[in-house]
Each structure stands twice: as structure tokens, then as C-alpha cells.
Amino acid sequence: MSDAQDHPQIYLITPSECDLSTFPAQLAACLDSTEVGCVRLALGTTDEARIAKAADALREVTHARDVALVIDSHLQLVERLGLDGVHLTDGARSIRQVRKDLGDDAIVGCYCTNSRHDGMTAGELGADYVSFGPVGETALGDGRKAELELFEWWSMMIEVPVVAEGALNADLIRMLAPHTDFFGIGDEIWATDKPATALGDLRRAMLG
């Protein structure tokens, strides 16, 4: 994960459920057609065998293309499955311990909803990036949104890379592009018939 001052990068998020007979090829098509900075394995299941099988399949796709693969929440699976890091969803609460456990080379990111305090704390404790969201309108979650003002403030005050995610569309991407380092894109493309095409459309919105 790196600073993307000129244009934001894409941080691709897998669906919560994916068919391993078709999804790796869909992911490969996305990575081959559009530059992606990182992929997050974000399955909804807690079945370790299913997660491991998915991780193995997606790692082949991502690492063949020099794209980092991180996993949502499951810290203990990072080293076991040969992944590049973990995406935490508990604000800044476990950053210090996770950084100690995984070491300096692993990617450790943190979702902080719309909390400046959690974001700043996560950065101070060693997070490689902080993610805020949802940005767009959604019935999911607790109703909190990450507004433009948060990203404007972060980009001026904080050096830690920031990710905007959740219910994105082309208009929101164009609005936020000057103020974020990464866009976390997932269901926005996987819910379409042609994810690679949809990703390309959103990428063009990032470029203005």
C-alpha cells in the first residue's frame, strides 16, 4: 500500500460469498484489465477450510500479478495461508498486538467507520492504512457515514494512506478522488454481469 497523490489506487474487496469455479477467473480478468493495488479476501463464512481453499485459489491469481492479498479479520490465518496481511474491523483496538504478532513487513489495515479518533490512533499504533466508510447510502450497518469532510481533513492533516469504501458510485468517486489514496471496491462490480468492465468504468471516474 503506497501513497497515491496523483490518482487514487484500487483496493479490491471480494464478495462475501464466491464460487471458486468461476470467481478466480473473474478476479484475474479484473487484475489484467485494470491496475489494482491490493485485494482483500472478505468472505462471510467462518468455516476455516472454505476460507483456506479460497485463499489458496486467490493467492495464485494475485501473487502471479504482484498484487498483495490481505484477509479480513482472521489474523491467525495470515502466515499459515501465505497472505500479505490483515484488514482489521475493530477500530484501533488490536493494532498494536497485531503489528507485534505479524511483524513490520505485513500489511496491517484498519476499518474505522467514520471515527477520526480511531483512525488517528490506528495510524499512531502502526496501521499501514485506515479505511473509512460507508461513503454512500446503504441500509446496512448502523447508519453512520464517512462524509467528504472527513477525507478532506485526513488528506490535509494525516500522512497514513486512507481508503474510502462502501456503496460507492462514479459520482462519489469523482468527488472523493482528490482526497483519498485508495477506493475499496467490491459489490459495486461483483453484482454486475461484467465485473472487469464495471471496474474499468469506476477507474475512469477516479482519473477525472
Question: Mean pLDDT by 10-residue block, N- to C-terminus, for the chain (208 residues)?
Answer: 68 97 98 98 97 98 98 96 96 93 97 96 96 93 93 97 98 98 98 97 94
What pLDDT score was predicted for residue 142?
Answer: 85
Strands 162-165 and 107-111: unpaired
Q: Peptide bond preceding 195: is omega within 30 degrees of 0, i.e. cis?
A: no
What pLDDT score was predicted for residue 6?
Answer: 77
Burial string for 29-41 (b: 16+ CB within 10 Å, else e) reads bbbeebebbbbbb
What pLDDT score was predicted for residue 3?
Answer: 41
- What digits encode the pLDDT tens for the residues 81-113? 999 999 999 988 999 999 999 999 999 999 999
For 57, half-sphere exposure in the C-beta direction (CA atoms, 13 angstrom radius) is 19
What pLDDT score was predicted for residue 1?
Answer: 47
The pTM score is: 0.95
What pLDDT score was predicted for residue 143?
Answer: 86
Q: What does 1-46 look like in DSSP terms, one character per residue?
A: ----SSS-EEEEE--SS--TTTHHHHHHHHHHHS--SEEEE--S--
Please state the domain extents for the chain: 9-206
What pLDDT score was predicted for residue 56?
Answer: 98
What is the fold of 9-206? TIM Barrel (3.20.20)
